[in-house]
Amino acid sequence: MVQVKDLHWKKDMRVSELVDSYENVGFQSVELHRASEVIVKMKKDSAKVFLTFTSNMVTSGLRGFFAQLIELGIADVLVTTVGGLEEDIMKATGEVFSIGNFNTDDVELHERGINRIGNLLIQNQSYMNFEDMITDILRKLYAKQKRWSVSEMLREIGLLLDDQNSILYQAAKNDVPVFCPAITDGAFGFHLYLFQQENPDFIVDVVKDFGNILLTTSHDDRKGVIALGGSISKHHAILATLLNGGAEYAVYMTTAHRTSGSMSGANTSEAKSWGKVKDESDIATVIGDVSITFPMAMTRALDELYEEGLLNIENK
């Protein structure tokens, strides 16, 4: 039985040392340490890793961290929501987001043409610039071919970007497929609709992409899921693992609680009842703000993987 031990600060303490000490602190710190261990295990076991996240995390500074994880070979498959793709493209083309306040006058922000996501602020003009740009991108795609699955379309867009901190750029460069089953749920979807009105033979095939995500793994593959937040991005990944025999490893990080009965709050133990993760799987569920918990758990995992030569750091 693991004993509770007192936490002590020491000069120049590394993040990895702090997270290691969490094993003996208690409460959610224990789960955070376990999450980091599970991430290391899935990579050591050569599991195919599904990384899922919601769009608000791309709004934040985690966007560049996700791109770096792709470059380092941590993620094999990405699943996200359309807002994150829009904002990844926006940031890749020079748009700047700001940090504001959770307790602000939202009517005043609206009058100033500013949108608030928590304590992050985005100018309306940034979305207008995105809309002008995406129309030009769709014309280029249409000239190349008329029918696209979502992941194929996103790969093509990634190839058009030139930003090392872009998720789509790094995914395209490193042959990591990006899936977005709810591609119409945002400004991007609206412009897909408008473009299709002018070009009725332009088709974005969501159903084909369901087959594509199933074919990223097989029953024989070891599979791991790192699900940050909830929503359709989380469920789409674990459904894909379910249909291929379930995942051997799963890390969920969320602010939602299991008592809601929601996908966002469903923990890794509940997933066993569905066969989404296997009975004998290594699992961890961390309740807390992902902008805090994920960088800490992943930094410790990266340190260990680096020390064992398991990171893709050639030419870095």
For the packed helices 290-307 and 62-71, what is the interaxial angle rounded to 10 degrees? 20
Residue 298 CA from chain centroid, whole number: 13
DSSP-derived letter for residue 279 is: E
CB 224 within 8 A of CB 47: yes
Question: If phi over 0 gives left and psi between -120 and 50 gives alpha, with beta otherwise, what is residue 295?
Answer: alpha
Return the closest-CA partner of residue 80 out of 59, 53, 57. Answer: 53
CB 105 within 8 A of CB 97: no
| Alpha-carbon gap, residue 254 to 231, rounded angstroms | 11
Taking residue 14's Cβ as centre, other Cβ atoms within 10 Å add up to 12
Q: Name the one residue in this structure whose structure tokens are 């020079």.
A: 94
CB-based contacts of 135: which residues, under 8 Å, 6+ apart? 191, 195
Q: Which of 43, 48, 276, 278 is catalytic?
A: 276
Q: Locate all alpha helices (DSSP H) within the chain, ordered by sequence.
A: 15-21, 28-44, 55-59, 62-71, 82-92, 106-111, 124-144, 150-160, 167-173, 187-198, 206-214, 231-242, 268-274, 290-307
Q: Is 272 a catalytic residue?
A: no
CB 270 within 8 A of CB 262: no
Q: Name the one residue in this structure whose structure tokens are 């359309």.
A: 82
CB 207 within 8 A of CB 230: no
Q: Which residues are catalytic?
A: 276
